[in-house]
């Protein structure tokens, strides 16, 4: 039998946590033959810790065969001890009247502390996914706060945007989501993201020529995917949770198990590909093999795409400049 892998999840008593933890313990993330130990972090607040206890009682009651252990924490220095994976979900939400820069600095505090804790106590090979918003910049902050860990192991979640785009394309073409290949979402997990189906295929056929409607791309597809989070809040009264948890599972699953050549989108520190400045935490098309991702190279970037890619890049550069003095 395989040795268990240690997975830390922050914000474990929150909405996304409630969808995520059960699936990790069920083997959906790391494989159906891979035992896991859950190390769950919540804020020290008494209500949050009590709610976490309740979630753990329910996890116990599932009697998951792959769950080899589970602990509750209020300090990242213990929660992150010896972990193989960190799924950083907990973040400071935007309160009423809170400005963007207040949100950035509140989260900068959380993610510098968590980055430092990862640096101090996690396994040297730990792989991190940041879900909590602003996800790209939070991942950047954690990466910069963990100088002894490989920068490439810090990633941000663009997978929900990728999956949202897949489902829109499947609906538009009347084809199965599973048959759509070579989709990418460039940039920031924010409405500025650029979902790009110029290279996408279904059964080897070009999705762009199947749809053959640039107006639909610009005026329907891009805004629908970009504003999907807001549409969910409007309809449900709560932000996306199960779909966000599902995307986190997909992200780590593919990173850990590989994609068999299939493209997926990950927010990763740029290596300078596609003229995205080094270290910017940016959504790129990648393939994964043996626990490593690799950016898909050689894609042609036309004028419209470059404009969109720069627009989302500028937002990220501004966010990252806005927190530099805190790092």
Q: How far is the CB of 238 from ligand NAI (least distance, A)?
A: 7
What is d(CA 4, CA 66) in angstroms, rounded to the nearest whole number? 9
Contacts to ligand NAI from residues 119-158, by CB under 6 A: 131-133, 135, 157
What is the x/- site pattern for ligand NAI, positions 5-44, by CB under 6 A? -----xx-xxxxx-----------------------xxx-
* Cβ proximity to ligand NAI, 2 vs 50, nearer residue: 50
Tokens of 196: 């790009």
**Residue 16 known to bind ligand:** yes
Q: Indicate which residue of 189, 251, 253, 256 is catalytic.
A: 189
Q: What is the DSSP string of 174-239?
A: T--GGGEE--EEEB-SSTT-EEE-TT-EETTEEHHHHH--HHHIIIIIHHHHHTHHHHHHHHHSS-
Question: Rounded CA gap, 228 and 231, in Å?
Answer: 5
- What's phi and psi for 284, nearest 5 deg? -130, 155
Q: Which is nearer to ligand NAI, 5 or 244 (CB)?
A: 244
- Choose between 121 and 211: whose C-beta lies nearer to ligand NAI: 121
Catalytic site residue 162?
Answer: no
| Distance from C-alpha of 267 to C-alpha of 283, rounded to nearest angstrom | 4
Residue at token pair 């198990």 = 257
Q: For residue 128, is it left (φ>0), alpha (ψ between -120 and 50) or beta?
A: beta
Question: How far apart are CB 327 and ligand NAI at their closest, in Å?
Answer: 17
The single residue among 8, 103, 108, 110 that binds ligand NAI, judged by CB under 6 A, is 110
Q: Which residues bind ligand NAI (CB under 6 A)?
A: 10-11, 13-17, 41-43, 48, 89-91, 93, 110, 131-133, 135, 157, 160, 189, 239-241, 244
- Binding positions are 11-17, 94, 100, 107, 114, 131-133, 164
Query: Which residues are tagged catalytic?
Result: 189
């Amino acid at each position: 039998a395989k040795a268990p892998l240690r997975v830390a999840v922050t914000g474990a008593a929150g909405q996304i946590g409630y969808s995520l933890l059960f699936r990790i313990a069920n083997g959906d993330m790391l494989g159906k033959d891979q035992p896991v130990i859950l190390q769950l972090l919540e804020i020290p607040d008494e209500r949050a810790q009590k709610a976490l206890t309740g979630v753990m009682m329910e996890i116990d009651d599932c009697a998951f065969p792959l769950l080899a252990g589970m602990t509750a924490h209020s300090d990242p220095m213990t929660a992150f001890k010896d972990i193989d994976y960190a799924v950083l979900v907990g973040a400071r939400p935007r309160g009423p009247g809170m400005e963007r820069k207040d949100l950035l600095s509140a989260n900068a505090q959380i993610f510098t502390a968590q980055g430092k804790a990862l640096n101090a106590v996690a396994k040297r090979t730990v792989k991190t996914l940041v879900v909590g918003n602003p996800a790209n910049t939070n991942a950047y902050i954690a990466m910069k706060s963990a100088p002894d860990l490989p920068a490439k192991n810090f990633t941000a979640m663009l997978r929900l945007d990728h999956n949202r785009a897949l489902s829109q394309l499947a609906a538009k073409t009347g084809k199965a989501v599973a048959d759509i290949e070579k989709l990418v979402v460039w940039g920031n997990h924010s409405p500025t993201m650029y979902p790009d189906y110029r290279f996408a295929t279904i059964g080897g056929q070009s999705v762009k020529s199947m749809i053959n409607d640039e107006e639909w791309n610009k005026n329907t597809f891009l805004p629908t995917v970009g504003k999907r989070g807001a549409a969910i809040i409007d309809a449900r009264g709560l932000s996306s949770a199960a779909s966000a948890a599902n995307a986190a599972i997909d992200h780590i699953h593919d990173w850990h198990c590989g994609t068999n050549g299939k493209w997926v989108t990950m927010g990763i520190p740029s290596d300078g590909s596609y003229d995205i400045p080094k270290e910017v935490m940016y959504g790129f098309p990648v393939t994964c093999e043996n626990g490593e991702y690799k950016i898909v190279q050689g894609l042609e970037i036309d004028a419209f795409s470059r404009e969109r890619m720069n627009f989302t890049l500028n937002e990220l550069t501004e966010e990252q400049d806005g927190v530099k003095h805190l790092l």
